[in-house]
A and B are shown apart, each in its own frame.
Chain A
Amino acid sequence: MSQPNRIDGGQIDRTHSLKFQWNERWMSGHPGDTLASALLANGVKLVGRSFKYHRPRGIFSAGSEEPNALVQLRKGAAQEPNTRATTVELFDGLYATSQNHRGSLEWDLMAANDLLAPFLSAGFYYKTFMWPKAFWEKLYEPVIRASAGLGRLSMWPDPDTYDHGYLHCDLLIIGAGPTGLAAALAAGRSGARVILADEDFTPGGRLNAETYEVSDTPGSAWAENAVAELAAMDNVRLMTRTTVYGAYDHGIYGALERCTDHLAKSDGKPRQVLWRIYSKRALLAAGAIERSIAFGNNDRPGIMLAGAVRAYVNRFGVAPGRHVAVFTNNEDGLRTAVDLRAKEIEVTEVDARKGDMIVDTKGRKGVHSVILSNGRTVPVDCVAVSGGWSPTVALACHHRGRPEWREDIEGFVPADDLPPGMTVAGAANGTMTLGACLSDGHERGVALAAELGAHGSSGAVALASDETFEIKPFWHVADAKPRAWVDLQNDVTTKDVRQSHAEGFRSVEHLKRYTTLGMATDQGKTANILGLAVMAETSGKTIPETGTTIFRPPYNPVAIGAFAGRARGKDFRPYRLTPSHKWAEENGADFVETGMWLRAQWFKQPGEKGWRDSVDREAAAVRRSVGICDVSTLGKIDIQGRDAAEFLNRIYSNPFLKLPVGKVRYGLMLREDGIAYDDGTTARLSENHFVMTTTTANAITVFRNMEFARQCLWPDLDVHLISTTDGWAQFAVAGPKSRPLLQKVVDDLDLSNDTFPFMACTECSVFGGTPARLFRISFSGELAYEIAVPARFGDSMIRGLMAAGEEFDAVPYGTEALGVLRIEKGHAAGNELTGQTTAQNLGLGGMVSKKKDAIGLKLSERVEMNRHDDLRLVGFKPKDRAVLLTAGAHFLTPGDPADMAHDQGWMTSVAYSPELGHSVGLGYLKRGGERMGETVRAYSPVRNQDIMVEVCSPHHIDPVGERQRG
């Protein structure tokens, strides 16, 4: 397992070896390597195939800007496609494979696409797949889908876990290169609370890749010392392997920390953490990214950015080649030649500033020669290209900032439209030399710390000399015959850019979408400026006139799993359990989600074959004897104050001012637009103390709206609200035997009809001293009560009630039987309160008091909402009693065509009534109240039902209410 290209030097740990697999071949590297540096050390040049033409591609960069070296990392369910080999930290046992080829990487069957290149240029899809129309779905789309995309998903659930988190700081420094480190040292020493984040696993940025000295020590050693000093400061949090990917409002930044990606096993810890960082100030010190020059066949493996070549040589101790052509338009690129020669690597300098150019390259699976503009062919195994450096301005532009062009550096720098609180320093701000970056970082660190009130001694600025910086714009070899690549990842060439211009797609936003320039996973980090430059030249404009596209988060790809965090499967949202949940589980309950609540929908007994068996039994038992249902999920609001009654009178459409103490009243709330909103009962426990119940679904919004009314509409009413929904275990005890059952349970309270009539309420105690509240209310239409005890007694209470009910054959009943009972009785619920129904529709128009103002009163009086021929809630039964009704069916007058023009209303709720022995329904019917006994057609094309139904009172059972009042 030799590493033929490993050379002396670098910051890798040669005392340890790491074994890894590449395309099933075992290789070795060292701690400190990336997968890319280890592959290069092992002589691997060809690492993947390009997106469109399936051209052989190699490693192009040494950072997260990598367009080419995308690999499939790990195997099985944990595999991740499109991982940049340049950012993958090597670990023992790492397994990676190349992607985007059929057959082997070396002999990719899809490489035939390259021969079809003349047909596959920009706009190919739009032009080609237009006809015949029928081919799109059957042929084109399946073929395109099969060949599109890069890596492949495992199609298994992601076995890793992810987490979210929140961090707070005075100053967030983005980037731990020389600028960021200098700023962090200054601000940290001053005492500011600092977070320093860098996406690399070794802080230092370009200091690790170059041979510069800082304060008379090698740059990388200075960085190491700086990190050690920062690590010792309690007020500084250094976050490596952390990409700040987005700048959001009010100093909030998104960051992704890769916690276990560099380990063979995650050991049960989250793989990545998505942080929300709250900062008072932010310093963007994200450096700069080198860009290429477009020349003929400039995409072959072995052709790399010059700065990346220096990084591999200086940081990783790897020679990307033994004979390197350096093609540059700037002074920095030429330093590559110096560094390479120091390692005894042969160099051919091609300086565009002197008019020298590479016009073409040769070598199918790796460059083996370059052809120069003077016609000479030079054998090389690597080309180091530098078209200059582009400041990393993305985060500075996340609030729609438009960067400004600076001619002296041939790059865009952030303008003054930065996100509030952000400052930009160092190369990200166009400061392109080391000494200047260090002092810029230091000064900004001092100034920002002072702004934040940290005035400790910031220490001295680190010193370094400033290298010469000189660049001459040179973007592409204009007369190159062969294709010259601009965007390597999306296979966009200079020809595509020119074609885009020729076909009228000239604005950058059009150029981007027509050619897909910059739309790949790398977002064109090494390509965009080059593409703009070619477009500018073609259209005879300047680069700043051409402009940039909008920058949007994320700066680098973030796995969907990281955004999801823990919110997967059962952890998608919290569950709320009723106090009798455990007992219900023990007694065969089947649960249903209602909002966040889990409620028992029925209790299956031995021998019951389907849910109907259980529900019919439960509903029948309530009518015959007694049933018990946990209704704790209803919203409960405690209302107190001198003006509590007045407040309720303004909230409910019906009067509440004169509700006597010890009584409950049904209340109907309207929205301000007059539509029915929520209903429930409210009990007056004492002069200034009420307890309101809301529907389960609206508990939170009703409370919110009541707080709005209290604070904003009537701020001087003395009324106070607090939710007690979770505080009480509340059970409906319903049926003719509910009174004798509860009489056994309550302490010293006579439940006879005279002393505790319908709609009475009281505070009492049960089972010998446990405090309780008792309400005589009925949703089922039977003699019924609701009894509440503090939630801690809920489990015990259901057991006690069942024990007390044993002699009456008491049964527990769930939400389905609850539904059957209320439909039989004609009580409206969620199906009826659709957000479009009025009190009139519900048949409750008479309840709305006209004598007092209340929310919704005024607009409920609108003429159109009070038409006599409007919908009314009525009951329905099938003419053929054996037929089951269908909710959602629309009503038609027999003989009328089934269309909306003849629509008469619709069925809202249906149930099988075990009491009546047939299906019963509730629904809205035009002039329903006047049509008792009429036969109408109930038509449901969706459920394929077309039947005749009889209109009847919604109170299918006990229409005069004798049972509940008895």
Chain B
Amino acid sequence: MIIDHPLLGPRDAAEFVYKGDASLIHRPDGMTATDDEMHDYVYLRDNPAGEHRELWYHEQGDRSWLVVTRNTLTHEISKVELARDVARAEGRGQ
């Protein structure tokens, strides 16, 4: 597989480490979250047959976390973003 890194261009998937669903960005605050909210965050994932937004880490590269939109049926990658940008855009900034 090849991931088209937004800053570095196409790189072999061997340079990356997979984490999982991009919903992991949305960590509830531990002081205010209910048990259910934190449970769902830690344990529950969608498992779509089709487009999936997932987190990849460019460990053998620039150490960026990326949000990769990949079709789990075809492996087609339709979008790659810096996770930090996604996190900010989705309200994780201060």
Asked if A712 and B2 sit within 8 Å, CB to CB, the answer is: no
Q: Which of A108-116, A249-257, A363-371, A900-908 lies at the interface?
A: A249-257
Residue B44 is within 8 A (CB to CB) of chain A in the complex:
no
Asked if A858 and B2 sit within 8 Å, CB to CB, the answer is: no
Asked if A711 and B42 sit within 8 Å, CB to CB, the answer is: no
Given contacts A249-B75, A712-B87, contact A672 B57 (CB under 8 A): no
Residue B15 is within 8 A (CB to CB) of chain A in the complex:
no
Asked if B92 and A712 sit within 8 Å, CB to CB, the answer is: yes
Separation of A857 and B38 alpha carbons in the complex (Å)? 10
**B30, B65, B84: most-surrounded residue (chain A CB, <10 A):** B30
Separation of A82 and B75 alpha carbons in the complex (Å)? 36
Interface string of B39-83 (1 = CB under 8 A from A): 101110000000000010101000111000000001111000011
Asked if A716 and B88 sit within 8 Å, CB to CB, the answer is: yes
Given contacts A712-B24, A712-B87, A715-B87, contact A250 B75 (CB under 8 A): yes
Residue A583 is within 8 A (CB to CB) of chain B in the complex:
no
Closest chain B residue, CB of each to CB of A852: B31
Residue A379 is within 8 A (CB to CB) of chain B in the complex:
no
Asked if B2 and A711 sit within 8 Å, CB to CB, the answer is: no
Asked if B27 and A713 sit within 8 Å, CB to CB, the answer is: yes
- Specify which chain A residues have a CB less than 8 angstroms from the CB of B59 in the assembled complex: 700, 704
Asked if B25 and A712 sit within 8 Å, CB to CB, the answer is: yes
Asked if B87 and A713 sit within 8 Å, CB to CB, the answer is: yes
Asked if A853 and B30 sit within 8 Å, CB to CB, the answer is: yes
**A251, A278, A853: most-surrounded residue (chain B CB, <10 A):** A853
**A278, A704, A715: most-surrounded residue (chain B CB, <10 A):** A715
Q: How far is the CB of A862 from chain B (nearest CB, A)?
A: 7
- Specify which chain B residues have a CB less than 8 angstroms from the CB of A248 in the assembled complex: 1
Closest chain B residue, CB of each to CB of A252: B2
- Specify which chain A residues have a CB less than 8 angstroms from the CB of B27 in the assembled complex: 672, 713
**A252, A712, A857, A859: most-surrounded residue (chain B CB, <10 A):** A712
B6-38 at interface with A (beta carbon < 8 Å): 10, 12, 17, 19, 24-25, 27-31, 33, 35, 38
Closest chain B residue, CB of each to CB of A717: B94
Separation of A251 and B2 alpha carbons in the complex (Å)? 9
Separation of A672 and B37 alpha carbons in the complex (Å)? 13
Closest chain B residue, CB of each to CB of A650: B30
Asked if A713 and B2 sit within 8 Å, CB to CB, the answer is: no
- Specify which chain A residues have a CB less than 8 angstroms from the CB of B63 in the assembled complex: 707
Q: How far is the CB of A306 from chain B (nearest CB, A)?
A: 40
Asked if B35 and A708 sit within 8 Å, CB to CB, the answer is: no
Residue A356 is within 8 A (CB to CB) of chain B in the complex:
no
Closest chain A residue, CB of each to CB of B4: A250
Number of interface residues of B (CB under 8 A): 39
Partner of B33, one of A251, A399, A713, A858: A858
Closest chain B residue, CB of each to CB of A713: B27
Closest chain B residue, CB of each to CB of A722: B63
Closest chain B residue, CB of each to CB of A853: B30
Residue A420 is within 8 A (CB to CB) of chain B in the complex:
yes
Residue A339 is within 8 A (CB to CB) of chain B in the complex:
no
Number of interface residues of A (CB under 8 A): 29
A367-420 at interface with B (beta carbon < 8 Å): 399, 420
Residue A469 is within 8 A (CB to CB) of chain B in the complex:
no
Asked if B2 and A707 sit within 8 Å, CB to CB, the answer is: no
Asked if B84 and A711 sit within 8 Å, CB to CB, the answer is: yes
Q: How far is the CB of B35 from chain A (nearest CB, A)?
A: 7
Separation of A672 and B19 alpha carbons in the complex (Å)? 14
Separation of A704 and B61 alpha carbons in the complex (Å)? 12
Q: How far is the CB of B81 from chain A (nearest CB, A)?
A: 12
Given contacts A250-B2, A704-B17, contact A711 B83 (CB under 8 A): yes
Separation of A859 and B35 alpha carbons in the complex (Å)? 8
Residue A26 is within 8 A (CB to CB) of chain B in the complex:
no
Given contacts A251-B2, A704-B17, A862-B35, contact A712 B77 (CB under 8 A): no
**A248, A250, A673, A700: most-surrounded residue (chain B CB, <10 A):** A250
Separation of A704 and B18 alpha carbons in the complex (Å)? 11
- Specify which chain B residues have a CB less than 8 angstroms from the CB of A399 in the assembled complex: 74
Asked if A707 and B65 sit within 8 Å, CB to CB, the answer is: yes
Q: How far is the CB of B66 from chain A (nearest CB, A)?
A: 10
Residue A714 is within 8 A (CB to CB) of chain B in the complex:
yes
Asked if B2 and A249 sit within 8 Å, CB to CB, the answer is: yes
**B12, B28, B29, B65: most-surrounded residue (chain A CB, <10 A):** B65
- Specify which chain B residues have a CB less than 8 angstroms from the CB of A714 in the assembled complex: 92
A245-272 at interface with B (beta carbon < 8 Å): 248-252
Asked if A711 and B87 sit within 8 Å, CB to CB, the answer is: yes
Tally the A-B contacts, defined by beta carbons under 8 Å: 79
Asked if A711 and B75 sit within 8 Å, CB to CB, the answer is: no
Asked if B1 and A249 sit within 8 Å, CB to CB, the answer is: yes
Residue A854 is within 8 A (CB to CB) of chain B in the complex:
yes
Separation of A717 and B94 alpha carbons in the complex (Å)? 8
- Specify which chain B residues have a CB less than 8 angstroms from the CB of A700 in the assembled complex: 59
Q: How far is the CB of A856 from chain B (nearest CB, A)?
A: 8
Asked if B65 and A708 sit within 8 Å, CB to CB, the answer is: yes
Q: How far is the CB of A932 from chain B (nearest CB, A)?
A: 34
Given contacts A420-B76, A673-B42, A704-B57, contact A712 B83 (CB under 8 A): yes
**A251, A672, A708, A711: most-surrounded residue (chain B CB, <10 A):** A711
Q: How far is the CB of B44 from chain A (nearest CB, A)?
A: 13
Asked if B64 and A854 sit within 8 Å, CB to CB, the answer is: no
Asked if B93 and A715 sit within 8 Å, CB to CB, the answer is: yes
- Specify which chain A residues have a CB less than 8 angstroms from the CB of B57 in the assembled complex: 704, 707-708
Interface string of A31-62 (1 = CB under 8 A from B): 00000000000000000000000000000000
Separation of A715 and B17 alpha carbons in the complex (Å)? 20
Separation of A862 and B57 alpha carbons in the complex (Å)? 30
Q: How far is the CB of B82 from chain A (nearest CB, A)?
A: 8
Closest chain B residue, CB of each to CB of A851: B31
Q: How far is the CB of A855 from chain B (nearest CB, A)?
A: 8
Interface string of A268-302 (1 = CB under 8 A from B): 00000000101000000000000000000000000
Asked if A716 and B93 sit within 8 Å, CB to CB, the answer is: yes
A651-688 at interface with B (beta carbon < 8 Å): 672-673
Asked if B76 and A711 sit within 8 Å, CB to CB, the answer is: no
- Specify which chain A residues have a CB less than 8 angstroms from the CB of B38 in the assembled complex: 858-859
Given contacts A704-B59, A862-B35, contact A712 B65 (CB under 8 A): yes
Q: How far is the CB of B34 from chain A (nearest CB, A)?
A: 9
Closest chain A residue, CB of each to CB of B24: A712
Partner of B77, one of A250, A708, A854: A250
Separation of A390 and B59 alpha carbons in the complex (Å)? 45
- Specify which chain A residues have a CB less than 8 angstroms from the CB of B24 in the assembled complex: 712
- Specify which chain A residues have a CB less than 8 angstroms from the CB of B42 in the assembled complex: 672-673, 859
Q: How far is the CB of B42 from chain A (nearest CB, A)?
A: 5
- Specify which chain A residues have a CB less than 8 angstroms from the CB of B74 in the assembled complex: 399
Asked if B19 and A859 sit within 8 Å, CB to CB, the answer is: no
Separation of A750 and B82 alpha carbons in the complex (Å)? 49
Closest chain B residue, CB of each to CB of A856: B30
- Specify which chain A residues have a CB less than 8 angstroms from the CB of B33 in the assembled complex: 858
Interface string of A855-880 (1 = CB under 8 A from B): 00111001000000000000000000
- Specify which chain A residues have a CB less than 8 angstroms from the CB of B31 in the assembled complex: 852-853, 857
Partner of B30, one of A252, A857, A862: A857
- Specify which chain A residues have a CB less than 8 angstroms from the CB of B94 in the assembled complex: 716-717
Partner of B92, one of A250, A707, A713, A852: A713
Q: List 15 A-B contacts (CB under 8 A).
A: A250-B2, A278-B2, A672-B27, A700-B59, A704-B17, A708-B19, A708-B65, A711-B65, A712-B24, A712-B84, A712-B87, A716-B94, A858-B30, A859-B42, A862-B35
- The residues of A with any CB-CB pair to B shorter than 8 Å are 248-252, 276, 278, 399, 420, 672-673, 700, 704, 707-708, 711-717, 852-854, 857-859, 862
A-B pairs, top 5 by smallest CB distance, nearest first, are A853-B30, A858-B30, A250-B2, A716-B94, A857-B30
7 further A-B contacts with Cβ under 8 Å, apart from A249-B75, A713-B25, A713-B87, are A249-B1, A250-B1, A672-B27, A672-B42, A711-B64, A713-B27, A853-B30
- The residues of B with any CB-CB pair to A shorter than 8 Å are 1-2, 10, 12, 17, 19, 24-25, 27-31, 33, 35, 38-39, 41-43, 55, 57, 59, 63-65, 74-77, 82-84, 86-88, 92-94
